[in-house]
Structure 1
Amino acid sequence: MSKGYHSLGDEIVSGSVPVAASSDRVLQFQDSFSNPGSGSQGGANGSSTGSGWQSYFNAVSYRPYFNVDTADVVERIRDSLFPFKGDFVEKTSHNPDMYGPFWICSTLVFVTAALGNFAAFLSAQSGSWHYDVNKVSWAAFMFYGYVAVIPLGLYFVLKYLGVVSGLVQLWCLYGYSLFVFIPASFLCVVPWDIMRWAVVGVAAVMSAGFLAINIRSHVKTASERWFLIVTSSAALQLGLALVVKLYFFTYFYHDSLVHV
Protein backbone atom coordinates (compact mmCIF):
# COMPACT_ATOMS: atom_id res chain seq x y z
CA MET A 1 0.00 0.00 0.00
CA SER A 2 2.84 2.46 0.76
CA LYS A 3 4.27 2.15 -2.78
CA GLY A 4 1.62 4.51 -4.14
CA TYR A 5 2.73 7.43 -1.97
CA HIS A 6 5.78 9.65 -2.07
CA SER A 7 6.98 12.60 -0.03
CA LEU A 8 6.18 16.08 -1.32
CA GLY A 9 9.08 17.65 0.46
CA ASP A 10 9.27 21.44 0.17
CA GLU A 11 7.57 21.69 -3.22
CA ILE A 12 5.00 24.46 -3.83
CA VAL A 13 1.79 22.72 -4.77
CA SER A 14 -0.26 24.39 -7.48
CA GLY A 15 -3.70 25.40 -6.29
CA SER A 16 -2.77 25.71 -2.65
CA VAL A 17 -4.61 28.40 -0.70
CA PRO A 18 -2.52 30.94 1.23
CA VAL A 19 -3.57 32.17 4.63
CA ALA A 20 -5.84 35.19 4.30
CA ALA A 21 -4.27 38.38 5.55
CA SER A 22 -6.30 40.47 7.91
CA SER A 23 -7.32 43.94 6.76
CA ASP A 24 -8.13 46.93 8.92
CA ARG A 25 -9.31 49.16 6.06
CA VAL A 26 -12.57 50.90 6.91
CA LEU A 27 -14.83 52.60 4.39
CA GLN A 28 -14.50 56.35 4.83
CA PHE A 29 -17.11 58.96 3.92
CA GLN A 30 -15.24 62.14 4.70
CA ASP A 31 -13.52 62.91 1.42
CA SER A 32 -15.96 62.42 -1.44
CA PHE A 33 -18.67 60.44 -3.10
CA SER A 34 -16.78 60.04 -6.34
CA ASN A 35 -17.08 56.28 -6.71
CA PRO A 36 -19.42 54.44 -4.35
CA GLY A 37 -18.22 50.98 -5.23
CA SER A 38 -14.61 51.35 -6.22
CA GLY A 39 -12.36 48.70 -4.79
CA SER A 40 -15.10 47.01 -2.79
CA GLN A 41 -16.13 43.41 -2.82
CA GLY A 42 -19.69 42.99 -1.76
CA GLY A 43 -22.71 40.85 -1.61
CA ALA A 44 -23.63 37.73 0.25
CA ASN A 45 -22.44 35.64 -2.70
CA GLY A 46 -19.00 37.19 -2.67
CA SER A 47 -19.50 38.82 -6.06
CA SER A 48 -17.69 42.01 -6.94
CA THR A 49 -19.66 45.23 -6.98
CA GLY A 50 -17.74 46.35 -10.03
CA SER A 51 -15.32 49.17 -10.60
CA GLY A 52 -15.35 52.48 -12.38
CA TRP A 53 -18.63 53.69 -13.87
CA GLN A 54 -20.21 50.23 -13.52
CA SER A 55 -20.38 50.64 -9.74
CA TYR A 56 -22.96 53.41 -10.09
CA PHE A 57 -25.46 50.88 -11.46
CA ASN A 58 -24.94 48.31 -8.73
CA ALA A 59 -27.29 48.59 -5.75
CA VAL A 60 -24.76 46.87 -3.47
CA SER A 61 -22.41 49.83 -3.93
CA TYR A 62 -24.86 52.08 -2.09
CA ARG A 63 -25.41 49.73 0.85
CA PRO A 64 -23.00 51.57 3.20
CA TYR A 65 -25.05 54.76 2.85
CA PHE A 66 -28.15 52.99 4.21
CA ASN A 67 -26.32 51.22 7.03
CA VAL A 68 -28.48 52.54 9.89
CA ASP A 69 -31.15 51.08 12.10
CA THR A 70 -34.28 52.60 13.62
CA ALA A 71 -32.45 53.75 16.74
CA ASP A 72 -29.90 55.66 14.64
CA VAL A 73 -32.58 57.40 12.58
CA VAL A 74 -34.64 58.32 15.64
CA GLU A 75 -31.58 59.73 17.40
CA ARG A 76 -30.66 61.84 14.36
CA ILE A 77 -34.22 63.13 14.04
CA ARG A 78 -34.17 64.05 17.72
CA ASP A 79 -30.87 65.89 17.24
CA SER A 80 -32.36 67.87 14.35
CA LEU A 81 -35.09 69.15 16.69
CA PHE A 82 -32.49 70.55 19.10
CA PRO A 83 -30.55 72.74 16.67
CA PHE A 84 -28.32 74.57 19.14
CA LYS A 85 -26.24 71.54 20.13
CA GLY A 86 -24.18 71.77 16.95
CA ASP A 87 -22.70 68.27 17.13
CA PHE A 88 -24.70 66.54 14.38
CA VAL A 89 -21.86 66.62 11.83
CA GLU A 90 -19.41 65.24 14.38
CA LYS A 91 -21.76 62.46 15.51
CA THR A 92 -22.56 61.31 11.97
CA SER A 93 -19.12 61.81 10.42
CA HIS A 94 -18.24 58.11 10.49
CA ASN A 95 -21.61 56.87 9.27
CA PRO A 96 -23.68 59.47 7.39
CA ASP A 97 -26.77 57.97 5.81
CA MET A 98 -29.19 58.68 3.00
CA TYR A 99 -31.94 56.47 4.40
CA GLY A 100 -33.33 59.11 6.74
CA PRO A 101 -33.13 61.98 4.22
CA PHE A 102 -34.87 59.90 1.54
CA TRP A 103 -37.83 59.02 3.75
CA ILE A 104 -38.04 62.49 5.25
CA CYS A 105 -38.29 64.01 1.77
CA SER A 106 -40.76 61.34 0.63
CA THR A 107 -42.93 61.96 3.68
CA LEU A 108 -42.80 65.70 3.11
CA VAL A 109 -43.93 65.29 -0.50
CA PHE A 110 -47.15 63.53 0.46
CA VAL A 111 -47.74 65.37 3.74
CA THR A 112 -47.44 68.87 2.30
CA ALA A 113 -49.49 68.00 -0.80
CA ALA A 114 -52.28 66.22 1.09
CA LEU A 115 -52.45 68.57 4.06
CA GLY A 116 -52.10 71.59 1.80
CA ASN A 117 -55.21 70.55 -0.10
CA PHE A 118 -57.05 69.68 3.10
CA ALA A 119 -56.17 73.03 4.65
CA ALA A 120 -57.37 74.75 1.47
CA PHE A 121 -60.67 72.93 1.85
CA LEU A 122 -61.03 74.11 5.45
CA SER A 123 -60.17 77.66 4.43
CA ALA A 124 -62.57 77.79 1.47
CA GLN A 125 -65.21 80.46 1.96
CA SER A 126 -67.48 79.03 -0.73
CA GLY A 127 -68.20 75.77 -2.47
CA SER A 128 -65.68 76.49 -5.23
CA TRP A 129 -62.90 74.30 -3.87
CA HIS A 130 -61.01 71.76 -5.97
CA TYR A 131 -58.17 69.33 -5.27
CA ASP A 132 -54.87 70.51 -6.72
CA VAL A 133 -53.02 67.38 -7.79
CA ASN A 134 -50.11 69.49 -9.05
CA LYS A 135 -49.04 69.99 -5.45
CA VAL A 136 -47.66 66.44 -5.41
CA SER A 137 -45.37 66.94 -8.40
CA TRP A 138 -44.27 70.38 -7.24
CA ALA A 139 -43.55 69.06 -3.74
CA ALA A 140 -41.45 66.22 -5.16
CA PHE A 141 -39.52 68.63 -7.37
CA MET A 142 -38.98 71.05 -4.51
CA PHE A 143 -37.90 68.73 -1.69
CA TYR A 144 -35.93 66.14 -3.67
CA GLY A 145 -34.37 68.85 -5.80
CA TYR A 146 -33.43 71.00 -2.82
CA VAL A 147 -31.78 68.18 -0.84
CA ALA A 148 -29.95 66.93 -3.94
CA VAL A 149 -28.76 70.18 -5.52
CA ILE A 150 -28.02 72.57 -2.63
CA PRO A 151 -25.65 70.20 -0.75
CA LEU A 152 -23.98 69.38 -4.06
CA GLY A 153 -23.33 73.06 -4.69
CA LEU A 154 -22.07 73.54 -1.13
CA TYR A 155 -19.80 70.53 -1.54
CA PHE A 156 -18.07 72.08 -4.56
CA VAL A 157 -17.79 75.44 -2.80
CA LEU A 158 -16.15 73.81 0.22
CA LYS A 159 -13.88 71.79 -2.04
CA TYR A 160 -12.83 74.98 -3.83
CA LEU A 161 -12.05 76.61 -0.49
CA GLY A 162 -10.06 73.58 0.64
CA VAL A 163 -12.52 72.45 3.34
CA VAL A 164 -12.69 68.66 3.67
CA SER A 165 -16.31 67.52 3.65
CA GLY A 166 -18.14 64.49 2.29
CA LEU A 167 -21.05 64.85 -0.11
CA VAL A 168 -23.05 62.14 1.64
CA GLN A 169 -22.38 63.92 4.92
CA LEU A 170 -23.95 67.10 3.51
CA TRP A 171 -26.92 65.20 2.07
CA CYS A 172 -27.43 63.65 5.48
CA LEU A 173 -27.28 67.04 7.22
CA TYR A 174 -29.70 68.73 4.83
CA GLY A 175 -32.10 65.80 4.76
CA TYR A 176 -32.53 65.66 8.53
CA SER A 177 -32.81 69.46 8.69
CA LEU A 178 -36.16 69.21 6.87
CA PHE A 179 -37.82 66.90 9.41
CA VAL A 180 -39.24 69.79 11.44
CA PHE A 181 -41.46 70.73 8.49
CA ILE A 182 -43.42 67.48 8.86
CA PRO A 183 -45.05 68.31 12.23
CA ALA A 184 -45.27 71.95 11.09
CA SER A 185 -47.37 70.86 8.10
CA PHE A 186 -49.89 69.17 10.39
CA LEU A 187 -50.18 72.31 12.51
CA CYS A 188 -50.69 74.43 9.40
CA VAL A 189 -54.01 72.68 8.77
CA VAL A 190 -55.55 75.01 11.37
CA PRO A 191 -57.45 77.66 9.34
CA TRP A 192 -55.83 80.68 11.00
CA ASP A 193 -53.29 82.34 8.80
CA ILE A 194 -51.49 84.04 11.68
CA MET A 195 -50.93 80.70 13.34
CA ARG A 196 -49.67 79.23 10.06
CA TRP A 197 -47.13 82.01 9.72
CA ALA A 198 -46.04 81.47 13.32
CA VAL A 199 -45.68 77.71 12.88
CA VAL A 200 -43.73 77.99 9.62
CA GLY A 201 -41.60 80.75 11.13
CA VAL A 202 -40.62 78.63 14.13
CA ALA A 203 -39.91 75.62 11.88
CA ALA A 204 -37.82 77.80 9.57
CA VAL A 205 -35.73 79.19 12.42
CA MET A 206 -35.16 75.72 13.89
CA SER A 207 -34.22 74.24 10.52
CA ALA A 208 -31.98 77.12 9.43
CA GLY A 209 -30.38 77.27 12.88
CA PHE A 210 -29.66 73.54 12.80
CA LEU A 211 -27.93 73.92 9.43
CA ALA A 212 -26.06 77.10 10.26
CA ILE A 213 -24.65 75.93 13.59
CA ASN A 214 -23.49 72.57 12.23
CA ILE A 215 -21.97 74.05 9.08
CA ARG A 216 -20.30 76.76 11.16
CA SER A 217 -18.70 74.23 13.49
CA HIS A 218 -17.43 72.35 10.45
CA VAL A 219 -15.96 75.20 8.39
CA LYS A 220 -15.10 78.02 10.81
CA THR A 221 -11.56 76.84 11.51
CA ALA A 222 -10.93 75.81 7.89
CA SER A 223 -12.01 78.84 5.88
CA GLU A 224 -12.01 82.60 6.36
CA ARG A 225 -15.25 82.83 4.39
CA TRP A 226 -17.20 80.74 6.86
CA PHE A 227 -19.63 83.56 7.70
CA LEU A 228 -20.72 83.95 4.07
CA ILE A 229 -21.15 80.19 3.71
CA VAL A 230 -23.19 79.90 6.91
CA THR A 231 -25.46 82.88 6.19
CA SER A 232 -26.06 81.74 2.60
CA SER A 233 -27.03 78.24 3.75
CA ALA A 234 -29.39 79.65 6.39
CA ALA A 235 -30.92 82.11 3.92
CA LEU A 236 -31.67 79.33 1.42
CA GLN A 237 -33.31 77.29 4.18
CA LEU A 238 -35.47 80.26 5.18
CA GLY A 239 -36.37 80.74 1.53
CA LEU A 240 -37.50 77.12 1.30
CA ALA A 241 -39.74 77.61 4.34
CA LEU A 242 -41.25 80.73 2.74
CA VAL A 243 -42.04 78.78 -0.43
CA VAL A 244 -43.67 76.03 1.65
CA LYS A 245 -45.90 78.58 3.36
CA LEU A 246 -46.87 80.55 0.26
CA TYR A 247 -47.46 77.61 -2.05
CA PHE A 248 -48.97 74.98 0.23
CA PHE A 249 -50.61 76.93 3.04
CA THR A 250 -51.75 80.28 1.61
CA TYR A 251 -55.20 80.50 0.05
CA PHE A 252 -56.16 84.12 -0.43
CA TYR A 253 -55.64 83.77 -4.16
CA HIS A 254 -57.75 80.66 -4.74
CA ASP A 255 -61.15 82.37 -4.89
CA SER A 256 -59.91 85.01 -7.31
CA LEU A 257 -58.56 82.33 -9.61
CA VAL A 258 -61.82 80.40 -9.54
CA HIS A 259 -63.98 83.44 -10.32
CA VAL A 260 -61.85 84.68 -13.22
Structure 2
Amino acid sequence: MMSGNYTTIDNQNVSGSVPAVSDPPGQVSVKFNDSTLQTFPPSGTQGKISGASGPPRDADDTFSKPVSGSSEAQQSSGWFKAFTVAAYQPYFDVDTSDVLERIKDSLLPFGGSFNEKTASNPDLYGPFWICTTLIFVAASIGTFVTYLAHKLQHKEWNYDINLVTWSAGVFYGYVLVVPLCLYIILKYFSAPSGLVQLFCLYGYSLFIFIPAMCLSVVPMEIFRWVITGVAGVMSALFVSLNLRNHIVAAGERWFLIVAGIFLLQLALSVVLKVYLFNVNV
Protein backbone atom coordinates (compact mmCIF):
# COMPACT_ATOMS: atom_id res chain seq x y z
CA MET A 1 0.00 0.00 0.00
CA MET A 2 1.07 3.58 -0.53
CA SER A 3 1.31 6.12 2.29
CA GLY A 4 2.49 9.49 1.02
CA ASN A 5 5.78 8.97 -0.78
CA TYR A 6 6.74 5.72 0.96
CA THR A 7 6.05 2.14 0.02
CA THR A 8 5.52 -0.66 2.54
CA ILE A 9 6.38 -4.25 1.76
CA ASP A 10 4.65 -7.24 3.21
CA ASN A 11 7.23 -9.22 5.22
CA GLN A 12 5.62 -12.49 4.26
CA ASN A 13 6.47 -11.94 0.59
CA VAL A 14 10.16 -11.38 1.31
CA SER A 15 12.39 -14.43 0.86
CA GLY A 16 16.13 -13.79 1.13
CA SER A 17 16.27 -10.48 -0.74
CA VAL A 18 14.27 -7.30 -1.20
CA PRO A 19 12.38 -7.21 -4.51
CA ALA A 20 12.80 -4.26 -6.77
CA VAL A 21 10.18 -1.55 -6.26
CA SER A 22 8.93 0.42 -9.17
CA ASP A 23 9.57 4.10 -8.96
CA PRO A 24 6.45 6.16 -8.16
CA PRO A 25 5.62 8.97 -10.51
CA GLY A 26 7.64 12.10 -9.95
CA GLN A 27 10.59 10.38 -8.20
CA VAL A 28 13.99 9.54 -9.67
CA SER A 29 16.03 6.65 -8.27
CA VAL A 30 19.81 6.69 -8.22
CA LYS A 31 21.50 3.46 -9.18
CA PHE A 32 25.10 2.59 -8.15
CA ASN A 33 27.23 0.43 -10.36
CA ASP A 34 28.72 -2.52 -8.44
CA SER A 35 32.05 -2.13 -10.21
CA THR A 36 32.63 1.24 -8.58
CA LEU A 37 32.31 -0.14 -5.02
CA GLN A 38 35.41 -1.16 -3.08
CA THR A 39 35.72 -3.44 -0.07
CA PHE A 40 37.86 -2.34 2.89
CA PRO A 41 40.50 -3.33 3.66
CA PRO A 42 41.65 -4.29 0.18
CA SER A 43 42.76 -7.88 -0.28
CA GLY A 44 45.63 -7.02 -2.56
CA THR A 45 48.87 -5.32 -1.64
CA GLN A 46 48.77 -1.59 -2.13
CA GLY A 47 51.52 0.71 -0.94
CA LYS A 48 52.83 -0.36 2.50
CA ILE A 49 49.66 -2.15 3.50
CA SER A 50 49.97 -5.90 2.93
CA GLY A 51 47.19 -8.32 3.71
CA ALA A 52 43.77 -7.71 5.13
CA SER A 53 44.86 -6.80 8.66
CA GLY A 54 48.65 -6.40 8.64
CA PRO A 55 50.10 -3.06 9.77
CA PRO A 56 52.65 -1.19 7.66
CA ARG A 57 56.18 -2.58 7.78
CA ASP A 58 57.64 0.64 9.07
CA ALA A 59 55.13 0.50 11.91
CA ASP A 60 56.28 -3.03 12.72
CA ASP A 61 59.91 -1.93 12.89
CA THR A 62 59.08 1.11 14.98
CA PHE A 63 56.81 -0.39 17.61
CA SER A 64 58.77 -3.61 18.00
CA LYS A 65 61.61 -1.71 19.67
CA PRO A 66 61.39 -1.02 23.41
CA VAL A 67 60.36 2.52 24.22
CA SER A 68 62.92 4.60 26.03
CA GLY A 69 62.06 4.82 29.73
CA SER A 70 59.55 1.94 29.64
CA SER A 71 59.60 -1.05 31.96
CA GLU A 72 60.69 -3.38 29.16
CA ALA A 73 64.36 -4.31 29.48
CA GLN A 74 66.73 -3.21 26.78
CA GLN A 75 68.21 -6.34 25.23
CA SER A 76 71.70 -5.99 23.78
CA SER A 77 72.90 -8.13 20.95
CA GLY A 78 76.22 -9.73 20.15
CA TRP A 79 79.20 -9.47 22.46
CA PHE A 80 77.80 -6.32 24.12
CA LYS A 81 75.35 -8.52 26.01
CA ALA A 82 78.25 -9.94 28.04
CA PHE A 83 78.75 -6.50 29.61
CA THR A 84 75.19 -6.22 30.93
CA VAL A 85 73.95 -7.30 34.35
CA ALA A 86 70.92 -9.04 32.83
CA ALA A 87 73.20 -11.51 31.03
CA TYR A 88 74.43 -12.94 34.36
CA GLN A 89 71.22 -12.68 36.35
CA PRO A 90 69.99 -16.24 35.49
CA TYR A 91 73.22 -17.73 36.90
CA PHE A 92 72.48 -16.26 40.35
CA ASP A 93 68.88 -17.47 40.44
CA VAL A 94 69.33 -20.11 43.15
CA ASP A 95 68.14 -20.41 46.72
CA THR A 96 69.81 -21.68 49.86
CA SER A 97 68.56 -25.25 49.46
CA ASP A 98 70.07 -25.47 45.96
CA VAL A 99 73.46 -24.26 47.14
CA LEU A 100 73.48 -26.60 50.16
CA GLU A 101 72.52 -29.55 47.97
CA ARG A 102 75.36 -28.83 45.57
CA ILE A 103 77.84 -28.39 48.42
CA LYS A 104 76.76 -31.79 49.77
CA ASP A 105 77.33 -33.34 46.34
CA SER A 106 80.84 -31.86 46.25
CA LEU A 107 81.63 -33.66 49.52
CA LEU A 108 80.51 -36.98 47.99
CA PRO A 109 82.79 -37.21 44.94
CA PHE A 110 81.95 -40.80 43.99
CA GLY A 111 78.39 -39.92 43.02
CA GLY A 112 79.40 -38.35 39.73
CA SER A 113 75.93 -36.86 39.19
CA PHE A 114 76.71 -33.19 39.81
CA ASN A 115 76.76 -32.29 36.11
CA GLU A 116 73.40 -33.95 35.49
CA LYS A 117 71.80 -32.12 38.40
CA THR A 118 73.13 -28.72 37.36
CA ALA A 119 72.83 -29.11 33.58
CA SER A 120 69.62 -27.07 33.37
CA ASN A 121 70.54 -24.51 36.02
CA PRO A 122 74.29 -23.99 36.59
CA ASP A 123 74.98 -21.16 38.98
CA LEU A 124 77.83 -18.78 39.70
CA TYR A 125 76.50 -17.72 43.10
CA GLY A 126 77.95 -20.69 44.96
CA PRO A 127 81.39 -20.62 43.29
CA PHE A 128 81.74 -16.88 43.91
CA TRP A 129 81.03 -17.13 47.63
CA ILE A 130 83.08 -20.28 48.06
CA CYS A 131 86.14 -18.58 46.58
CA THR A 132 85.48 -15.41 48.59
CA THR A 133 85.12 -17.44 51.80
CA LEU A 134 88.36 -19.27 51.07
CA ILE A 135 90.17 -15.96 50.64
CA PHE A 136 88.96 -14.56 53.95
CA VAL A 137 89.46 -17.85 55.82
CA ALA A 138 93.02 -18.14 54.52
CA ALA A 139 93.80 -14.55 55.42
CA SER A 140 92.12 -14.63 58.84
CA ILE A 141 93.55 -17.98 59.97
CA GLY A 142 97.03 -17.16 58.74
CA THR A 143 96.92 -13.75 60.37
CA PHE A 144 95.51 -15.03 63.66
CA VAL A 145 98.03 -17.85 64.01
CA THR A 146 101.01 -15.67 63.19
CA TYR A 147 99.71 -13.06 65.64
CA LEU A 148 99.59 -15.63 68.45
CA ALA A 149 103.05 -16.90 67.53
CA HIS A 150 104.55 -13.42 67.77
CA LYS A 151 102.75 -12.61 71.01
CA LEU A 152 103.91 -15.85 72.66
CA GLN A 153 107.48 -15.03 71.68
CA HIS A 154 107.07 -11.37 72.70
CA LYS A 155 107.93 -10.16 69.24
CA GLU A 156 106.54 -7.32 67.23
CA TRP A 157 103.81 -8.39 64.80
CA ASN A 158 102.93 -6.72 61.51
CA TYR A 159 99.95 -7.57 59.36
CA ASP A 160 100.85 -8.95 55.92
CA ILE A 161 98.36 -7.74 53.29
CA ASN A 162 100.05 -9.90 50.67
CA LEU A 163 98.32 -12.95 52.16
CA VAL A 164 94.93 -11.60 51.03
CA THR A 165 96.03 -10.57 47.56
CA TRP A 166 97.94 -13.80 46.98
CA SER A 167 95.04 -16.03 48.04
CA ALA A 168 92.58 -13.95 45.97
CA GLY A 169 94.77 -14.38 42.90
CA VAL A 170 95.07 -18.13 43.46
CA PHE A 171 91.40 -18.95 44.02
CA TYR A 172 89.80 -16.51 41.60
CA GLY A 173 92.45 -17.17 38.97
CA TYR A 174 92.14 -20.94 39.27
CA VAL A 175 88.34 -20.95 38.97
CA LEU A 176 88.45 -18.66 35.94
CA VAL A 177 91.49 -19.81 33.97
CA VAL A 178 91.35 -23.60 34.38
CA PRO A 179 87.69 -24.05 33.27
CA LEU A 180 88.29 -21.69 30.35
CA CYS A 181 91.31 -23.69 29.17
CA LEU A 182 89.42 -26.96 29.63
CA TYR A 183 86.51 -25.57 27.64
CA ILE A 184 88.85 -24.80 24.72
CA ILE A 185 90.45 -28.27 24.92
CA LEU A 186 87.09 -30.04 24.95
CA LYS A 187 85.89 -27.94 22.06
CA TYR A 188 89.00 -28.91 20.10
CA PHE A 189 88.27 -32.63 20.69
CA SER A 190 84.62 -32.17 19.64
CA ALA A 191 83.32 -32.77 23.16
CA PRO A 192 82.34 -29.25 24.21
CA SER A 193 80.85 -28.60 27.59
CA GLY A 194 79.07 -25.51 28.84
CA LEU A 195 81.51 -22.86 30.05
CA VAL A 196 79.26 -21.75 32.91
CA GLN A 197 78.78 -25.38 33.91
CA LEU A 198 82.56 -25.80 34.14
CA PHE A 199 82.81 -22.65 36.28
CA CYS A 200 80.11 -24.09 38.52
CA LEU A 201 81.82 -27.48 38.81
CA TYR A 202 85.26 -26.08 39.64
CA GLY A 203 83.84 -23.52 42.06
CA TYR A 204 82.05 -26.13 44.17
CA SER A 205 85.08 -28.43 44.02
CA LEU A 206 86.99 -25.94 46.20
CA PHE A 207 84.55 -26.11 49.11
CA ILE A 208 86.40 -29.04 50.68
CA PHE A 209 89.41 -26.77 51.25
CA ILE A 210 87.46 -24.55 53.68
CA PRO A 211 87.29 -27.13 56.52
CA ALA A 212 90.77 -28.36 55.57
CA MET A 213 92.12 -24.84 56.00
CA CYS A 214 90.42 -24.49 59.37
CA LEU A 215 92.02 -27.75 60.56
CA SER A 216 95.45 -26.53 59.44
CA VAL A 217 95.80 -24.53 62.67
CA VAL A 218 96.78 -27.77 64.41
CA PRO A 219 100.56 -27.46 64.93
CA MET A 220 101.42 -30.89 63.49
CA GLU A 221 103.07 -31.01 60.10
CA ILE A 222 102.08 -34.63 59.41
CA PHE A 223 98.46 -33.86 60.26
CA ARG A 224 98.48 -30.90 57.88
CA TRP A 225 99.83 -33.02 55.04
CA VAL A 226 97.17 -35.66 55.66
CA ILE A 227 94.40 -33.07 55.70
CA THR A 228 95.73 -31.45 52.54
CA GLY A 229 96.06 -34.82 50.78
CA VAL A 230 92.54 -35.94 51.66
CA ALA A 231 91.04 -32.62 50.58
CA GLY A 232 93.02 -32.64 47.32
CA VAL A 233 92.04 -36.22 46.42
CA MET A 234 88.35 -35.61 47.16
CA SER A 235 88.34 -32.42 45.12
CA ALA A 236 90.19 -34.06 42.22
CA LEU A 237 87.85 -37.07 42.23
CA PHE A 238 84.82 -34.80 42.28
CA VAL A 239 85.94 -32.92 39.16
CA SER A 240 87.33 -35.85 37.17
CA LEU A 241 84.47 -38.27 37.84
CA ASN A 242 81.85 -35.70 36.90
CA LEU A 243 83.65 -34.94 33.63
CA ARG A 244 84.66 -38.49 32.76
CA ASN A 245 81.44 -39.56 31.05
CA HIS A 246 81.39 -36.36 29.05
CA ILE A 247 85.05 -36.50 28.03
CA VAL A 248 84.73 -40.10 26.83
CA ALA A 249 83.12 -38.59 23.73
CA ALA A 250 86.47 -36.96 22.92
CA GLY A 251 87.83 -40.27 21.66
CA GLU A 252 90.75 -42.41 22.69
CA ARG A 253 92.54 -39.53 24.43
CA TRP A 254 89.85 -39.13 27.07
CA PHE A 255 91.99 -40.88 29.71
CA LEU A 256 94.83 -38.38 29.29
CA ILE A 257 92.43 -35.47 29.70
CA VAL A 258 90.84 -36.94 32.84
CA ALA A 259 94.27 -37.75 34.29
CA GLY A 260 95.41 -34.19 33.60
CA ILE A 261 92.34 -32.79 35.38
CA PHE A 262 92.99 -35.04 38.39
CA LEU A 263 96.68 -34.16 38.65
CA LEU A 264 96.04 -30.44 38.23
CA GLN A 265 93.60 -30.46 41.13
CA LEU A 266 96.15 -32.31 43.26
CA ALA A 267 98.77 -29.72 42.31
CA LEU A 268 96.45 -27.01 43.61
CA SER A 269 96.24 -28.74 46.99
CA VAL A 270 100.04 -28.93 47.18
CA VAL A 271 100.34 -25.22 46.42
CA LEU A 272 97.79 -24.43 49.13
CA LYS A 273 99.71 -26.58 51.62
CA VAL A 274 103.02 -24.91 50.91
CA TYR A 275 101.82 -21.30 50.88
CA LEU A 276 98.64 -21.26 53.02
CA PHE A 277 98.50 -24.37 55.22
CA ASN A 278 102.12 -24.03 56.30
CA VAL A 279 101.47 -22.00 59.46
CA ASN A 280 104.08 -22.13 62.19
CA VAL A 281 103.02 -21.54 65.80
How does the TM-score come out when normalised to structure 2?
0.72
Tell me the amino acid that sits aligned with residue 50 of structure 1. Answer: S
Aligned ranges 1:150-229 → 2 under 5 Å: 150-229=178-257
| Aligned partner of residue 110 in structure 2, secondary structure | helix
Shift of 1:10: 6.0
Residue aligning to 1:244: 272
| Aligned partner of residue 94 in structure 1, secondary structure | coil
Shift of 1:148: 0.1
**Distance across 1 between alignment mates of 2:94 and 2:209:** 22
**Distance across 1 between alignment mates of 2:147 and 2:217:** 10
Tell me the amino acid that sits aligned with residue 126 of structure 1. Answer: Q
Residue aligning to 1:145: 173
Unaligned runs of 5+ in 2: 1-38, 43-51, 57-69
Residue aligning to 1:99: 125
Shift of 1:193: 1.7
2:100 aligned to which of 74, 95, 118: 74
| Aligned partner of residue 88 in structure 2, secondary structure | helix
Residue aligning to 1:113: 139
Aligned ranges 1:30-49 → 2 under 5 Å: 45-49=71-75
| Matched-pair contact (CA < 8 Å) for 1:119–1:249 | no
**CA offsets per residue over residues 164-221 of structure 1, 9 Å max, x none?**
3110010000000000001111111122222111111111111011111111122124
**Distance across 1 between alignment mates of 2:277 and 2:142:** 6
How does the TM-score come out when normalised to structure 1?
0.77
| Aligned partner of residue 170 in structure 2, secondary structure | helix
Tell me the amino acid that sits aligned with residue 172 of structure 2. Answer: Y
Shift of 1:251: 4.3
User: CA 1:246–1:120 in 2, change beyond 3 Å: closer, same or farther?
Assistant: farther
**Distance across 1 between alignment mates of 2:54 and 2:248:** 59
| Matched-pair contact (CA < 8 Å) for 1:80–1:177 | yes
Shift of 1:48: 2.5
Larger Rg: 2
Moved more, 147-156 or 88-97: 88-97
Unaligned runs of 5+ in 1: 1-7, 17-43, 255-260
| Matched-pair contact (CA < 8 Å) for 1:83–1:207 | yes
Tell me the amino acid that sits aligned with residue 266 of structure 2. Answer: L
2:154 aligned to which of 102, 124, 127: 127
> Which of structures 1 and 2 has the larger relative contact order (alpha carbons within 8 angstroms, sep 6+)?
1
Residue aligning to 1:31: none
**Distance across 2 between alignment mates of 1:227 and 1:91:** 24
Shift of 1:123: 5.2
**Distance across 2 between alignment mates of 1:220 and 1:245:** 32
**Distance across 1 between alignment mates of 2:163 and 2:72:** 45
| Matched-pair contact (CA < 8 Å) for 1:122–1:191 | no
**Distance across 2 between alignment mates of 1:218 and 1:189:** 38
Aligned ranges 1:13-52 → 2 under 5 Å: 45-52=71-78
| Matched-pair contact (CA < 8 Å) for 2:186–2:250 | no
Root mean square deviation of aligned Cα: 2.2
**Distance across 1 between alignment mates of 2:84 and 2:249:** 37
User: CA 1:122–1:249 in 2, change beyond 3 Å: closer, same or farther?
Assistant: farther
**Distance across 2 between alignment mates of 1:161 and 1:229:** 10
Identity over aligned pairs, percent: 53
Shift of 1:112: 0.9
